[in-house]
């Protein structure tokens, strides 16, 4: 193994800061240990997503128990890396390695990322942990997702790198967006350009059953076809086994082309949408498109620390109503999505969500993709999506692509 | 919504046959109902992967409770589709819709796909189901995975479509495989060609934390870098956040280029590997490559109904030893993968696995990707991978790409 090629990517002090912050929050919730199981959570807290389990005690040093590759994990993280060994012995391994917690004899509350950990593995782990002591294995995912909401400058720089790549890739691909190309053929070109710029080839979603390739390019009526995907636009897709996003449909004149495409570079995601048209939009769709830009301006004003997330969504509903577009806002009929925006970072569906029930106030360092869109069955979807980081003042836009209706001849 | 564009893809009798078979197996295991939660499992048994839960009673008709999109689900499946309604009321909804099971008063055993269902959702569902009756929610994933092992001719045809696409895409992309191109730039071209042929843009894996873009193209020393991915080759990857597969490494002369690339068309996956070289391989690597082809011939002879899966793996270990290549077989050192092949279908990590402990006998209709490979740290990985369907006689090869070392000038 050429060791010169693998180095620690995350600054050491950032990992230490994240662990300390997690331990502080664990203390508040009387959680004695956090068991990290998911690759993204492992990466966030250790800098490595090798195969294994990381254990963070509320006090003291964390340990990353690695199954594979031990050698690579040791190069990627400053956290102590130890062989996972026999999975059946994991309880004993843990008890020996973290004696201050498990050998004291009392009941131990261990939290894990149960929003993603499969139930089958949960039951196995829960059983194995009993041999470490009287362990209660509870859900710690809210702690993790809560902490991950606030991005460090180091993370924001990575999101900006992704934003630059998608802007450049779209610029290249727009040269071949012409009447007669299929949605699939055009996204193929966008993805090619993204890949050349370092896109890892997939976008990570935390939600069960949710998946996204690079996003969607959907045109005219195909864009307005409803689907299972929890977003404002569905897309006809490539059949029942991929019932969203691009289809084999040929892109035509005078219909909206929704370009909701992101990428993932060095683990960090950008998400943005632009609307294009070859020719011109109908007056109704043009009105809806203009409204989406106006809603973006209103959202920008509201995106300051202290504003409850839900407030921005409710304001957007009012604004859609005032424009006479309530029925079309974020989907149509039974299939309207119930949010205005969402956190992005290592995953595309991070916290916070600009939605009812999400009353958490915005805070500096949160990164949000805001995406007011309007769906017209039989005609298409129009809208715009930008990503922003919340600052102490006005939000700073991370999306680089010029915000305007892209009109092609 | 243009209803002409969405139709039932799976033949009705295939869905009915799958449900009947599932019910038969449930009867044998005293499972009263199967709750399908994962998108692939939903698709397999209903023909639709819209967002919701399908419930299959051991006797009687299944119901697909859909959150979104109800309209689309109704066009995609012949199974009864009903609104999921309030998730909190799901227990009552189920009790009312399946009265023969829940209103009888006794204890009801419900199985679900707990190998993929997140623990958090499991606990919610378990709680909600208690209001339907005295429900025990157990793991039914082995039933599902076991049934899905045997592919119908309809499924095999789809895998063949994917096999044709990857063969054509590689043929095109090989035209630009030249000294000096990076692994990333070359896979970008392969993926572009795959996408034009209908690749859905991702490959589905069932295993927790396992992910794959289209596969891997790794050259020389970069191919032999170990990683978390549970396969014979890792790959340097694009950093700690995607520590596998392609890297920014420039492909050079006289080093092996491992091309382990598949695609997913209409939901079905093909998986194959070829080894290429610009110039020539060293005698050691050439010997290992020839051995991998010889191992493929031996596996073909053994792949007949009745052979235990584990037997093929153990035979391959002996063959690697006879060639003096044990230390290099399926990885190196601590990071050797412990299998010879795996099932493919809707997911890339299906059952059966040609591995120790998997003593199930092969049966007609199973589809397997067989991948003997050899890893040489500092030098690279060589090998070959073909996919086959088990028949009553000799296995039928589904992979189309000519099996030979690809030698480029």
Q: How far is Cα B407 from Cα B409, in angstroms, rounded to an integer? A: 7
Q: Which pLDDT score, from 0 to 100, does residue A203 have?
A: 97
Q: What residues of chain A lie within 8 A of the CB of B72, using their CB?
A: 225-228, 234, 243
Under an 8 A CB cutoff, do A335 and B71 touch?
Answer: yes
Pairing of strands A63-68, A80-83: parallel
Q: Based on the fold, state whether residues B62 and B91 are members of the same structural domain.
A: yes
Q: What is the CATH number of the domain that holds A101?
A: 3.40.350.10
Q: Based on the fold, state whether residues B162 and B124 are members of the same structural domain.
A: no
Chain mean position to CA A107: 35
Q: How far is Cα A330 from Cα A340, in angstroms, rounded to an integer? A: 8
Q: Based on the fold, state whether residues A359 and A288 are members of the same structural domain.
A: yes
Query: Residues B213, B7, B140, CA angle at the centre, nearest 5°?
Result: 60
Radius of gyration of chain A (CA): 23
Q: Which pLDDT score, from 0 to 100, does residue A349 have?
A: 97
Q: Based on the fold, state whether residues B135 and B188 are members of the same structural domain.
A: no
Q: Based on the fold, state whether residues A125 and A208 are members of the same structural domain.
A: no
**Of B113, B147, B181, which closes a domain?**
B147
Task: List per-residue pLDDT tens for chain A, 409 residues long.
Answer: 444 578 899 999 999 999 999 999 999 999 999 999 999 999 999 999 999 999 999 999 999 999 999 999 999 999 999 999 999 999 999 999 999 899 877 899 999 999 999 999 999 999 999 988 889 999 999 999 999 999 999 999 999 999 999 999 999 999 999 999 999 999 999 999 999 999 999 999 999 999 998 999 999 999 998 888 878 888 999 999 999 999 999 999 999 999 999 999 999 999 999 999 999 999 999 999 999 999 999 999 999 999 999 999 999 999 999 999 999 999 998 789 999 999 999 999 999 999 999 999 999 999 999 999 999 999 999 999 999 999 999 999 999 999 999 999 9
Q: Based on the fold, state whether residues B226 and B263 are members of the same structural domain.
A: yes
Shortest Cα–Cα distance, A93 to chain B (Å): 19
- How many CB atoms are located within 10 Å of the residue B273 CB? 27
Under an 8 A CB cutoff, do B122 and A117 touch?
Answer: no
**Of B88, B117, B147, which closes a domain?**
B147
**Of B147, B176, B207, which closes a domain?**
B147
Compute the residue count for chain B. Answer: 409
Asked if A357 is an interface residue toward chain B (Cβ–Cβ < 8 A), one would say no
- How many CB atoms are located within 10 Å of the residue A17 CB? 12
Q: Which pLDDT score, from 0 to 100, does residue A404 have?
A: 96
pLDDT tens profile B75-113: 999 999 999 999 999 999 999 999 989 987 789 999 999
Under an 8 A CB cutoff, do B243 and A141 touch?
Answer: no
Nearest to A195 among B43, B191, B335 (CB): B191
Q: What residues of chain A lie within 8 A of the CB of B248, using their CB?
A: 198
Q: Which of A110, A196, A209, A375 to mutate to test the interface with B (most CBs of B within 10 A)?
A: A209
Q: Based on the fold, state whether residues A87 and A222 are members of the same structural domain.
A: no
Listed by number, the residues of chain A in 212-241 with a beta carbon closer than 8 Å to a beta carbon of chain B are 213-214, 221-222, 224-228, 230, 234, 236, 238-241
Asked if A136 is an interface residue toward chain B (Cβ–Cβ < 8 A), one would say no
Shortest Cα–Cα distance, B393 to chain A (Å): 31
- B121 contacts: CB under 8 Å, gap ≥ 6: A119, A208, B37
Task: Identify any residues that bridge with B361 across adjacent strands, giving them in sequence order.
Answer: B308
Q: What ipTM was predicted for this assembly?
A: 0.97
Q: Which pLDDT score, from 0 to 100, does residue A127 have?
A: 97
Shortest Cα–Cα distance, A358 to chain B (Å): 18
Closest CA to A91 of A70, A65, A116: A65
Q: What is the CATH number of the domain that holds A196?
A: 3.90.230.10
Q: Based on the fold, state whether residues A183 and A73 are members of the same structural domain.
A: no
Q: Based on the fold, state whether residues B168 and B293 are members of the same structural domain.
A: yes
Q: Which of B123, B228, B260, B267 to mutate to test the interface with A (most CBs of A within 10 A)?
A: B228
Q: Based on the fold, state whether residues A103 and A229 are members of the same structural domain.
A: no
Asked if A200 is an interface residue toward chain B (Cβ–Cβ < 8 A), one would say yes
Q: Based on the fold, state whether residues A51 and A154 are members of the same structural domain.
A: no
The series of mean pLDDT values per 10 residues for chain B, 409 residues long, is: 72 97 98 98 98 97 96 95 97 94 89 98 97 94 98 98 98 97 98 98 96 93 87 89 94 97 98 98 98 98 98 98 97 90 98 97 98 96 98 97 97
Q: Which pLDDT score, from 0 to 100, does residue B3 have?
A: 46
Q: Which pLDDT score, from 0 to 100, does residue B138 have?
A: 98
Asked if A4 is an interface residue toward chain B (Cβ–Cβ < 8 A), one would say no
Domain that holds residue B192: 149-408
Q: What residues of chain A lie within 8 A of the CB of B200, using their CB?
A: 213, 238, 241-242
Backbone angles phi, psi at B53, to 5 degrees: -130, 130
The total number of structural domains that make up chain A: 2
Compute the residue count for chain A. Answer: 409
Q: What residues of chain A lie within 8 A of the CB of B5, using their CB?
A: 222, 225, 236, 247
Asked if B14 is an interface residue toward chain A (Cβ–Cβ < 8 A), one would say no
Asked if B377 is an interface residue toward chain A (Cβ–Cβ < 8 A), one would say yes
Asked if B279 is an interface residue toward chain A (Cβ–Cβ < 8 A), one would say no
Q: Based on the fold, state whether residues B269 and B375 are members of the same structural domain.
A: yes
């Amino acid at each position: 193994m050429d060791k010169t090629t693998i180095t620690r990517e995350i600054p050491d002090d950032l990992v230490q800061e994240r662990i300390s912050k997690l331990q502080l929050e664990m203390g508040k919730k009387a959680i004695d240990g956090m068991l990290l199981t998911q690759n993204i959570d492992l990466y966030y807290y250790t800098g490595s997503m090798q195969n294994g389990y990381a254990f963070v005690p509320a006090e003291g040093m964390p340990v990353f128990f690695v199954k594979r590759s031990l050698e690579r994990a040791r190069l990627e993280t400053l956290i102590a890396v130890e062989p996972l060994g026999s999975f059946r012995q994991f309880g004993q391994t843990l008890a020996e390695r973290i004696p201050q917690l498990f050998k004291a004899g009392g009941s131990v509350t261990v939290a894990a990322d149960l929003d993603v950990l499969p139930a089958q593995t949960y039951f196995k782990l829960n059983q194995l942990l009993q041999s470490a002591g009287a362990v209660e294995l509870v859900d710690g995912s809210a702690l993790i997702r809560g902490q991950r909401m606030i991005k460090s400058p180091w993370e924001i720089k990575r999101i900006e790198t992704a934003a630059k790549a998608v802007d450049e890739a779209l610029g290249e691909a727009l040269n071949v967006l012409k009447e007669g190309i299929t949605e699939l053929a055009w996204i193929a070109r966008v993805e090619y350009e993204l890949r050349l710029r370092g896109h890892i080839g997939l976008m990570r979603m935390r939600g069960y059953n949710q998946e996204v390739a690079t996003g969607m390019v959907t045109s005219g009526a195909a864009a307005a076809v409803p689907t299972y995907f929890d977003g404002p636009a569905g897309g006809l897709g490539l059949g029942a086994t991929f019932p969203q996003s691009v289809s084999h449909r040929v892109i035509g004149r005078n219909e909206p082309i929704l370009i909701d495409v992101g990428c993932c570079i060095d683990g960090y995601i950008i998400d943005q949408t632009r609307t294009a048209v070859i020719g011109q939009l109908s007056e109704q769709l043009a009105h809806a498109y203009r409204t989406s830009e106006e809603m973006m301006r209103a959202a920008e004003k509201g995106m300051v620390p202290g504003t409850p997330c839900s407030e921005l969504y409710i304001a957007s509903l009012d604004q859609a109503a005032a424009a006479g577009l309530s029925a079309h806002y974020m989907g149509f009929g039974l299939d309207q999505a119930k949010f205005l925006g969402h956190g992005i970072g290592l995953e595309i569906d991070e916290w916070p969500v600009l939605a009812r029930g999400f009353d958490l106030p915005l805070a500096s360092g949160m990164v949000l993709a805001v995406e007011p869109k309007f769906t017209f069955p039989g005609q298409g979807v129009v809208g715009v999506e930008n990503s922003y980081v919340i600052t102490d003042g006005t939000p700073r836009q991370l999306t680089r692509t010029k915000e305007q209706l892209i009109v092609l001849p």
